[in-house]
């Protein structure tokens, strides 16, 4: 009985030796040798390094909303509402994202790059700018805030990187270039967001709120929207510029809202401006608030003289910068410090004038 076992052992050892020596049975093709890859290109090494540096600062946000179980039920349950991306703003655990990512949510949960999940509270938002700030319930140690850059000196053609969670696929990197500058998109309030960065880096649902980085790994924008008939990336994405973000977020941290100057008047509908002033562009002063900033500056609104309506002042520039509509006027004054004064170029009864107005804090944006 031992001899057959010995023969089987020899055969098994031979087969094992043949396998370890990569012996190939007759009739089977040998695997092709692997070509040496060589060194990575410089641009590849840069992308890899920037991703490794920035990825720990990028988070995955999931939200839930409250719904009743049924028409006759008073029981309220939380159901998934959506998801998006955000990034660490500071070591205190503040996270910046798009306002539309958390709009209407009852609860938000943030998943960090290490996979840990944390409840988050709402700090504040600026719907007009599509920006919001959340706070981790318990900030873990050694959070890595994302480095800030500037959007004022961007150039078309610069390389950019976007990190986000498209379709729930976390820690996804896409690359591209700055395709255009100075674009305009609409916020959730229908207010225009100006100075927007256009990029061809793939941005899909779930990327919203994530960082757009330059080749130095600095934040230059917050990815916020795509333009696509199908809802998926078609090579046209948009990001709120970081200079806007860096102006808005400190106000949200301090007050929970973005304050803007209250000019103390209501604008007149554009069609009435065209009827009164023809091709001249600007904002016509309508009803002036008593003792408001416009009244103290001496601005005159629309008045009725018998059967005739007398047009109000037409504001055409702020500190020498032309403004063609209400959004442009708000953009111009919001860029100035509260408490400062601005010079308005106006047309009144066919004559050009200049009026100084003091910018005082008003209603929430």
What would the mean pLDDT of 333-358 be, rounded to a whole number?
Answer: 92
Architecture of domain 53-136: Beta Barrel (2.40)
Distance CA 277, CA 270 (A): 10
CB neighbour list of residue 353: distance below 8 Å, 6 or more residues apart: 345, 346, 347
Q: For this structure, is 57 an active site residue?
A: no
| pTM, 2 dp | 0.78
What would the mean pLDDT of 162-175 be, rounded to a whole number?
Answer: 89
Closest alpha carbon to 135 in 172, 100, 86: 86
Kindly name the residue from 57, 94, 130, 243 that is annotated as catalytic.
130
Distance CA 223, CA 239 (A): 4
Kindly name the residue from 208, 233, 243, 327 that is annotated as catalytic.
208
pLDDT band at residue 363 using 50, 70 and 90 as cut-offs: low
Question: pLDDT > 70: what percent of the chain?
Answer: 84
261-364 CATH: 2.30.42.10
Distance CA 334, CA 43 (A): 39
Q: For this structure, is 208 an active site residue?
A: yes
CB neighbour list of residue 295: distance below 8 Å, 6 or more residues apart: 264, 288, 289
What would the mean pLDDT of 70-98 be, rounded to a whole number?
Answer: 78
What would the mean pLDDT of 134-152 be, rounded to a whole number?
Answer: 93
Distance CA 56, CA 67 (A): 34
Kindly name the residue from 100, 187, 214, 313 that is annotated as catalytic.
100
Q: What is the pLDDT of residue 53?
A: 95
| Mean pLDDT over each residue of the chain, to the nearest integer | 86
Q: For this structure, is 100 an active site residue?
A: yes
Closest alpha carbon to 123 in 135, 113, 115, 139: 135
pLDDT band at residue 79 using 50, 70 and 90 as cut-offs: low
Say if residue 266 is exposed, middle or buried (CB neighbours under 10 Å; 0-12, 13-18, 19+).
middle
CB neighbour list of residue 350: distance below 8 Å, 6 or more residues apart: none
Domain with CATH 2.40.10.10 in the chain: 53-136, 159-258
56 torsion bin: left (phi>0), alpha (psi -120 to 50), beta (else)? alpha
Q: In CATH, which of 1.10.8.60, 2.40.10.10, 2.60.120.10, 3.30.465.10 is domain 159-258?
A: 2.40.10.10
pLDDT band at residue 10 using 50, 70 and 90 as cut-offs: very low
Comparing 255-264, 293-302, 303-312, the range with the smallest average pLDDT is 303-312
Q: What is the pLDDT of residue 229?
A: 62
pLDDT in tens, 171-192: 899 999 999 999 999 898 988 8
Domain with CATH 2.30.42.10 in the chain: 261-364
Indicate if the pLDDT at residue 221 is higher than 60.
yes
């Amino acid at each position: 009985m031992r001899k057959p076992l010995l023969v089987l052992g020899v055969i098994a050892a031979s087969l094992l030796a043949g396998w370890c020596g990569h012996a190939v049975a007759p009739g089977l093709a040998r695997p092709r040798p692997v070509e040496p890859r060589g060194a990575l290109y410089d641009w590849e090494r840069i992308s890899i390094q920037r991703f490794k540096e920035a990825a720990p600062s990028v988070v995955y946000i999931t939200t839930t909303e409250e719904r009743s179980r049924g028409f006759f039920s008073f029981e309220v349950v939380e159901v998934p509402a959506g998801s998006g991306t955000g990034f660490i703003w500071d070591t205190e655990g503040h996270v910046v994202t798009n306002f539309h990512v958390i709009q209407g949510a009852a609860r938000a949960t943030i998943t960090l790059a290490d996979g840990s999940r944390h409840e988050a509270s709402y700090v504040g938002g600026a719907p007009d700018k599509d920006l919001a700030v959340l706070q981790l319930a318990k900030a873990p140690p050694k959070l890595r805030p994302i480095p800030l850059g500037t959007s004022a000196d961007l150039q078309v053609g610069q390389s950019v990187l976007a990190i986000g969670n498209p379709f729930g696929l976390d820690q996804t990197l896409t690359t591209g270039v700055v395709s255009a500058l100075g674009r305009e998109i609409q916020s959730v309030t229908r207010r225009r967001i100006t100075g927007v960065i256009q990029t061809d880096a793939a941005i899909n649902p779930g990327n919203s709120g994530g960082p757009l980085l330059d080749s130095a790994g600095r934040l230059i924008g917050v990815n916020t929207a795509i333009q696509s008939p199908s809802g998926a990336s078609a090579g046209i994405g948009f990001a709120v510029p970081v200079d806007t973000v860096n102006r808005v977020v400190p106000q949200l941290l301090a007050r929970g809202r973005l304050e803007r100057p209250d000019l103390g008047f209501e604008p007149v509908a554009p069609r009435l401006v065209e009827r009164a002033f023809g091709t001249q562009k600007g904002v016509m002063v309508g009803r002036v608030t008593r003792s408001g900033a416009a009244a103290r500056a001496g601005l005159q609104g629309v008045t009725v003289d018998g059967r005739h309506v007398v047009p109000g002042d037409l504001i055409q520039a702020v500190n020498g910068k032309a403004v063609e509509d209400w959004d442009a006027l708000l953009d111009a004054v919001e860029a100035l410090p509260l408490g400062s004064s601005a010079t308005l170029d106006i047309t009144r009864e066919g004559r050009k004038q200049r009026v100084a107005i003091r910018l005082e804090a008003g209603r929430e944006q």
